[in-house]
Amino acid sequence: MPIRSTISLGRVAGIRIAAHWSAGITVGHQLGDTTIGDIMAPAPVAAAGAWTVDELLRSSLVCTRHRVFPVIDADGRPYAVLAWADLLHPRTPARPGLRVADLARPLAPAAIARPQDLVGDIVARIVLRPDLDVVAVVDPSGRLTGLVTATDLALACNRSALGLPIDAATRFAAAGGDSPAPGGMPASAEM
């Protein structure tokens, strides 16, 4: 009878995530070598903390499908997070000239990562609330280079638990193939 155990990987969007192992061999989860850089959205859009709320509402951010944004300083370093929900229920009374920085919530140190950080380590140290929180990915100088949402982390954990590649389309293309079409066949495959 093999020895079985469960290792807690933390919580994602309020869901407990665990890796199961049997006799020292990982079963199901393949997160081990998956990095934040593997799942992040590169070149994310961000709100400048110095913007007024009026400037934010006239910016290109309103034309995106994003619901939460990192807030950056003048050097491009993330220090806070702002969701559309924060504008609906502001912590600070509305006034002319109200700045994004006045409404933004501080970005927790655990929510700042580097591309080479392991996804499993990030999942173990932070809980992201969907539509409210993000992991800001930074370069060595601390400038924003990527973004990971609660959905990104949950998807990586779910795919891992199913034994699927974390980012199938990217990894398939990197191997020289076309993106898989429905049913797992490359889009260019002839039937």
Task: Give tens-digit pLDDT for 27-56.
Answer: 335 677 889 999 999 999 999 999 999 999
Task: Give tens-digit pLDDT for 64-113.
Answer: 988 999 999 999 999 999 999 888 877 777 788 899 999 999 999 999 99
Q: Coil, helix or strand for 127?
A: coil
Task: Give tens-digit pLDDT for 147-188.
Answer: 999 989 888 888 888 888 877 544 443 444 444 444 444 444
**pTM for the predicted model, two decimal places:** 0.71
92 in Cβ contact with 82 (< 8 Å): no
Buried b (16+ CB within 10 A) or exposed e, 39-65: bbeeebebbbbebebeebeebebeeee
> How much is the mean pLDDT over the chain?
78
Distance of CA 175 to the CA centre of its chain: 24
Cα angle for residues 8, 11, 12 (degrees, 5° grid): 135
Give the pLDDT confidence score for residue 171 in this predicted structure.
43
Task: Give tens-digit pLDDT for 104-145.
Answer: 999 999 999 999 999 989 988 888 888 888 999 999 999 999
Nearest Cα residue to 45 out of 23, 30, 67: 67
Give strand pairing partners of 146: 42, 137
pLDDT classification of 5: cutoffs 50, 70, 90: very low
